[in-house]
Amino acid sequence: MSNFLAGLGEFPHVRMRRNRAQSWSRRMVCENTLTTNDLIWPLFIIDGQGQRESVTSMPGVERLSIDLIVKAAGEAKALGIPAIAVFPSTDPALKTPDAKEGLNANNLVCRAVRAIKEAHGDDLGVICDVALDPYNSDGHDGLVHDGKILNDETLELLCQQAVVQARAGCDIVAPSDMMDGRIKAIRQALDAEGFQRVQILSYAAKYASSFYGPFRDAVGSGGVLKGDKKTYQMDPANSDEALREVALDVSEGADMLMVKPGMPYLDILRRIKDTFAMPTFAYQVSGEYAMIQAAAGNGWLNGEAAMMESLMAFKRAGADGVLTYYAPLAARLLNEG
């Protein structure tokens, strides 16, 4: 020790490293905990039997036919994952300007939900996306007329879509469309049809982000999208606006809230959780997943460690749970301790 430090006597009095010195001590003072209960697994559905297709821009992610989706749901249940979210990759021949396939009680999503519920009952939650982009030949979340996204006309279809999904057995509808007034409209439609118990997970703060590209590849909407979604999804520059969006959705009957994307918007997540103290989730979107996978695939970082660190970041920022394509891997690692 230098003469300078020796002259300070017992310096330093406070040593932050003491609590970090042993594994048991680090666990004992840990401020946030990640468990399998924090995970929601998004899954992509395709038609057919025994079919699986790799999503090129999302290494490790596949589109699965309904029979394989049912097996994946069983895997999720066995791992302790409480819920899955299902997204269809719709046959392009079924996509139309009026998105009528989204209202079909026998569409891909509804058939998948019925099969999952028949196999697994209420032991696993099923979340369905409410938006028109999987069925719209324009690739937009709402109806399009003369290049403009129609708000109120879209609401009528979203309500019908939510009711159709609820009849199929969906536990949570998740409106991701960002049309004004959709939460109130959907809540009223569900209640009128006797689905008071179906929850609404609102994509309350969904940004017009460049991180969605691989997802659009997975559901087949990217190649048909005409223009962009900036007239209804939020400006990435805005933070106060997110609080207004959330306040409206809360007042209209949302049960839970979603921030999308996740990692680039941790500040939004924190503000929403602190302000509303409601169940709040983050979506670790396809672009975030793809970046970690690409870096890990090139040996530039430890993929598993980076993945777990990213999930803990969501918890630290206030998330009650995370939609992540890493859900089964994270669950296995957590279960192994």
* Residues annotated in a binding site for Mg(2+): 245
Distance CA 249, CA 257 (A): 8
- Tell me the two tokens of residue 118: 């028949």
**61, 325 contact by CB (below 8 A):** yes
> What is residue 135's three-state secondary structure?
coil
- 């690739």: which residue's tokens? 139
- Catalytic residue set: 206, 260
CB neighbour list of residue 174: distance below 8 Å, 6 or more residues apart:
85, 127, 128, 129, 130, 200, 201, 202, 203, 258
Residue type, 325: Y
Residue 40, beta-bridge partner list: 83, 323
Distance CA 258, CA 276 (A): 12
The binding site comprises: 245
